[in-house]
Amino acid sequence: MNKAEIKDVLIRNIREGKNSLLWQQHTAQYLQAIEEKYEVVYINEPDPIKAKMVEIITAISHDKESTLSRKTVPELKKILESKTARKKVVIIFNHFERITASVARAWLSISEFERVILVGSLFGRFKKGAYGLYKVFEVVNEDDMEESFDEVDISFFVFGAISVLIFVAFLRVSLQFAFEVTGAFWLAAIVFRTFIFVAR
């Protein structure tokens, strides 16, 4: 998909209340187009969750950061829910793949707020603990993501081939050395027996 097509899908998804993920594209390049239609909070990274929630609340309200910083994550979630009850807010971030299980749980509960829409980017395979959160997103350029995962990583095979060659070379040298040691042992044994025979 080209940039214009992605922008159109993003705007449509936001209008329909759907969360969106972009595969290997920074969300910042679509920020202006979204800001023209909706209230946007750009947080860049989704973690640490408490600091990001404080950042979001201060961006959409007059609450002071110093006051919010003393709140717990559950308290901040309640504040955010009340602040977004009457207006749609689009939270934009990058690097979904860095989200841990605990952070994913917090974002999953935020994604359930009726008027909060999430737009993120994904630059690699996400962590297993973030799968529940991943399911609430639509990957806008999913075809591009599937193509990336379908491509064979040739470096894996190159490293494998080099490793096999090194193993064979080492084995050959080791076997040659083993034969020499065995030969020397047998020669020493024969000489020893000969000396014993002569000495008698």
DSSP 8-state code for residue 97: G
Residue 158, pLDDT > 80, answer no
CATH classification number, 3-150, choose in 3.40.50.1000, 3.40.190.10, 3.40.50.300, 3.40.50.2300: 3.40.50.300
pTM over 0.85: no
Query: Using 50, 70 and 90 to split pLDDT, how confident is the model at 150?
Result: low
Task: Kindly give the residue spans of alpha helices, DSSP state H, lying in 37-72.
Answer: 49-60, 65-68
ω into 48 cis (within 30 of 0): yes
Tell me the per-residue pLDDT of 76-99, one tens digit each, with 9 for 90 and over: 999 999 999 999 999 999 999 999
The arithmetic mean of pLDDT across residues 116-123, rounded, is 97
Which helix (H) or strand (E) segment holds residue 41: the answer is strand 39-44
Contact 134, 126 (CB under 8 A): yes
Domain spans, the chain: 3-150, 153-200
